[in-house]
């Protein structure tokens, strides 16, 4: 489909469904190295996002939709991940300007701005066992795909696959940021829940774009 406001809407609908389906899994991952609420937090947030987007005017731009998502996540998700995802969507809106449809270059800028926003807010580096370990490979794969002339949908698919691999690759890592860092070496051997939710949300973006 065209990457317009309808795509943002469908992306969030598909994300909400996939997060709801994976709520127990995300809670369980967070129970191993955190406080067990990541699935709950994200499910509450994405449900509220679907409601908020339905209330936007028909002529809302993709950028306005991303800003609405950001404000909703900030006010409903809570925990560490709420402000981080909120900042991601807030920053993701910037490169879109007044555009009504995203091309490949804008998709890359959007993902890059989202990742940079999370880094500036949470100060995590690659390898700290956080959602950044999904976001940064996703951004790099998106950049590489765009350089190869891939379509916007293919750029998103490359980003999603890299995020999924990045989430798996958090398993052996020792957490250096967030609640999981309190466990020190004992955090190794478990997948980071925020990296997993990032992979789920980016896969939803790709699947919906491919329709
Ligand atoms: P809380 O830890 O407050 O219960 P959540 O469980 O919703 O919040 O989210 C935990 C996730 O947030 C972690 O799995 C990790 O991916 C992410 N996270 C925590 N701190 C940071 C940080 N400083 N930078 C990036 N991501 C972080
Ligand atoms: Mg938690
Ligand atoms: Mg919590």
Determine the pLDDT at residue 193: 98
Instruction: Identify which of 26, 36, 45, 81 to mutate to test ligand 1's pocket (most ligand atoms within 8 A of the CB).
Output: 81
Q: Which residue range is the domain that position 16 belongs to? A: 5-209
Q: In which residue ranges of the chain is pLDDT below 70?
A: none
Structural domain count, the chain = 1
CB 177 near ligand 1, within 6 Å: yes
Q: How far is CA 153 from the centre of its chain?
A: 16
Determine the pLDDT at residue 142: 98
Residue length of the chain: 211
ipTM of the complex model = 0.99
Determine the pLDDT at residue 91: 98
Determine the pLDDT at residue 211: 82
In this structure, what CATH number is given to the domain that contains residue 127? 1.25.40.340
CA distances, 65 to each of 28, 71, 126 (Å): 31, 10, 29
**Nearest alpha carbon, ligand 1 atom 5:** 38
pTM score of the predicted model: 0.98
């Amino acid at each position: 489909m065209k990457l317009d406001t309808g795509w943002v809407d469908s992306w969030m609908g598909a994300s909400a469904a996939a997060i709801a389906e994976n709520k127990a899994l995300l809670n369980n991952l967070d129970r191993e190295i955190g406080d067990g609420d990541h699935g709950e937090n994200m499910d509450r947030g994405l449900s509220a996002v679907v409601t908020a987007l339905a209330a936007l005017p028909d002529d809302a731009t993709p950028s306005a939709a991303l800003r609405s998502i950001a404000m909703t996540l900030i006010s409903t998700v809570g925990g560490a991940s709420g402000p981080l995802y909120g900042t991601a969507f807030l920053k993701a809106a910037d490169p879109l300007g007044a555009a009504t449809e995203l091309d490949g270059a804008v998709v890359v800028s959007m993902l890059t701005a989202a990742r940079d926003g999370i880094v500036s807010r949470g100060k995590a580096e690659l390898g700290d066992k956080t959602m950044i370990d999904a976001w940064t490979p996703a951004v790099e794969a998106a950049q590489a795909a765009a350089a190869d002339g891939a379509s916007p949908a293919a750029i998103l698919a490359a980003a999603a696959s890299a995020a999924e691999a990045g989430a798996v690759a958090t398993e052996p890592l020792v957490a250096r940021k967030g609640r999981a860092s309190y466990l020190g070496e004992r955090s190794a051997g478990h997948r980071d829940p925020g990296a997993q939710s990032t992979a789920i949300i980016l896969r939803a973006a790709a699947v919906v774009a491919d329709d």
